[in-house]
A and B are shown apart, each in its own frame.
Chain A
Amino acid sequence: MVSQQSTRGKKNAFWVALAAPGILWLAILFIVPFYAVLSIAMGKLDQLIAAPVAVWNPLHWSSSGVIDVWRDIFGANSFAGPIVLRTIVYTAVASLLCLLIGYPAAYFVARFAGRRKSLFLVLLIAPFWISYMMRMLAWIDLLSTGGYVNKALGLVGISPVNWLSGNSATVVLGLVYGYIPYLIMVLYAGLDRIEPALLEAGRDLGLGRARTFWHVTLPLSRQAILTGLLITVLPMLGDYYTNQMLSGAASTSMIGNLIQGQLGTPGLESQGAVLSLMLLVVLLVPMIYYVIATNREAAT
């Protein structure tokens, strides 16, 4: 008995040790930078060059940056509210579009690709070979007045559209284009894991294709949908580059642009840091929900 417990203890220690590099990596690349951002958010200002000075000792932290940002969003003279609302709307619409487009694509690859599954997977991953920045830059050319998109529209008699000047649809479509591969990959992984026998059972019990999908496939892919949406929504909420590249207009700016603006403005970096942390806190809500939902799913 003692030797069994000792062996079990050694095995547990082994598995824990295997996790150690990952934990260390997480600590260095997440906890340390997070603390650095916190130290700037609660820090001081170098009066000479209006640059932020990180204060590492929490006992000396100042809450003035937090108060300023709170007022910007909720105060009597708040101005950041509309930007927050716009960001939420863009993200919601873009995420929905990602799901509506990505789900059929993932479903096809998982269920009907057959021998060409690997080929389709490679094609789905291909956008990742090019940096996000380059992909957005490519769209600038495609969407320009004389670009291929307008040329294609011209073939069907539609006048050139000014896609790149403050067009909300362009920003949303840019977000969809930028993040849909993540959703498709996650959905594919979830759909591919569904036992074909379960789908056959549904058919055997008299359900048609559509009802099998609705009553069997969709519920079983719920976790994958949740995971995929989380992976796309989280970065979308902080995205600034898509709007900057595909619009540049003040009327379509997102909260990421506000943070970027503050981080690039002498003296306002700490406010930018505070806004980043506030965004992080808001994003914790869906992440916690995801963890609870996953645990519940695993328990059943």
Chain B
Amino acid sequence: MPRRRFLKGGAGLTALAALGAAGAGTSLLAGCASDLTGSGTLPLPRPNNPVKWPVFAGNTAVKSGLAAEQGATLQIYIWEAYINQDVVNSFAKKYKCKAQITTFNTMNEALSKLRSGLTYDVLVGATPDVLGQLIEGKLAQPLNHSYIPNISQAWPDYTNPFYDAGWQYTVPYTIYTTGITWRKDKVDENPYAMKNPWAMPWQPKYSGRVAILDDYREGICLGLMKNGIFDLNTTDYKQIGLSRQSLQDLSSLVNLRISNTDYSDVPAGETWISSAWSGDMAAAESYMPKGVNVDVVGYWFPADGRGPVNNDTMAVLNGASNPVLAHLFLNYLLDLPNALNNISWNGYMQPLTGVTPQVLIKEQILPPSLTSTVVVPSNFRTGLFELQLPVDADALWQQAWLVVSNGI
């Protein structure tokens, strides 16, 4: 059903309003992975439903054995403040080219601009949940693996990830978890000792000091996990409604702040408990006030690895003016020294076998007290990925978040 038709007549809101009613009927949108389709005709990848994307006529990989484009300007399209300029400059120096970075603030903005016809060479930061849109829209081109031998440095899982079997279109960029960060010196509780650490924000005594990430997937997922629901791609409108209600309760309980500035607010002591991305908290030391040790900042992620895990990818865009350079750039970022240089600035770790907690501590990229922010290879298999949803379910998630984020 097209999203518009679903929402027309307030069907989406009516469904939301009915969610509070006890004993509501069967879920509106329950489904299993093999039945799910995205916005087009392509399937939705899941860990138990890996997808090998098609290669469309007229959108094939660049030929092998070509020399890098000479005197070119590599156009990199990436999230704002998400790559170390030094790494980009060193690439440009090595390949005797220029490199220009253009940034975007939201994935939707990036997709809209690409769809409107703007062309770049490389897209850095696309999460697996938008790959279907990128590929169906013929916005990304298949990779020629011969230009990217450094894939051998990545975790083995990335040579055949479920969201891009055979790594046809993407290589990994960063990997991160979503957990709970807290100030050990301000908060009595320790999530490691709690029965339900996901419920840690729901404590009225910390009113005014609690925040959650300003992201509809992360927000609703927190509500789901607090209620013991670990299908982070649920299409069950009752579960979505339960999460929404929990978040609304949280908002009333603690005068909830919704923001992505946890990376500075927690070190500064303005926020004491927050949901957080691991990469943000790995860089907490940079934001600590003078005289305050980073040891007071904690980051919790489930020991069994069953929590939100995600990775950003890199892709060569269709219509790239410099496809060979683009491939070489992907290869460059998969090289350990460059990756470590990038992580030292970015905070977000890259899934290379050489990036271990010991190396990160030895290189003074990560303080020992925050090794919990490190993502390990097993997290790829045990972690819960937030993936592309069917259009109608996505609409319910979005509407639920709109209600929560506007204090309704």
Give the B-binding residues of A (Cβ under 8 A). 45-51, 64, 67-68, 71-72, 75-77, 79-80, 82-83, 144-146, 162, 164-166, 244, 247-253, 257-258, 261-262, 264-268
Contact = CB atoms under 8 A, between A and B. Distances in A.
A40 B4 CA distance: 14
B255 A166 contact: yes
Contacts of B14: 77
| Interface majority SS (helix, strand, loop, mixed), chain B | helix
Nearest to A76: B10
Contacts of A268: 398, 402
A244 B398 CA distance: 19
A68 B208 contact: no
A47 B269 contact: no
B122 to A, nearest CB: 19
Nearest to B407: A250
Nearest to B395: A267
Interface residues of B, number: 49
A72 B13 contact: yes
B255 A264 contact: no
| Interface majority SS (helix, strand, loop, mixed), chain A | loop
Given A77-B10, A77-B13, A253-B405, 18 more contacts: A47-B3, A47-B391, A48-B136, A48-B137, A50-B108, A51-B111, A51-B115, A64-B4, A77-B16, A162-B209, A164-B257, A164-B270, A165-B209, A165-B255, A250-B256, A250-B404, A264-B108, A265-B402
B369 interface: no
Contacts of A77: 10, 13-14, 16-17
A48 B214 CA distance: 24
Nearest to B269: A145
Contact of A261 (B108, B112, B256, B402): B402
Contact of A50 (B3, B10, B13, B402): B3
A267 B398 contact: yes
Interface of B: 2-4, 7-8, 10, 13-14, 16-17, 39-40, 106, 108, 111-112, 115, 133, 136-137, 208-209, 211, 214, 216, 251-252, 255-259, 261, 268-270, 289, 391, 394-395, 398, 401-408
Contact of A71 (B13, B211, B251): B13
A166 B108 contact: no
B112 A51 contact: yes
8 contacts: A45-B4, A50-B3, A51-B115, A82-B407, A145-B269, A162-B208, A165-B255, A261-B405
B256 A68 contact: no
B257 A248 contact: yes
B270 A166 contact: no
B10 A166 contact: no
Contacts of B39: 47-50
A164 B256 CA distance: 11
Contact of A252 (B108, B137, B402, B407): B407
A249 B255 contact: yes
B398 A48 contact: no
Contact of B108 (A49, A79, A162): A49
A136 to B, nearest CB: 13
Contacts of A165: 208-209, 255, 257, 270
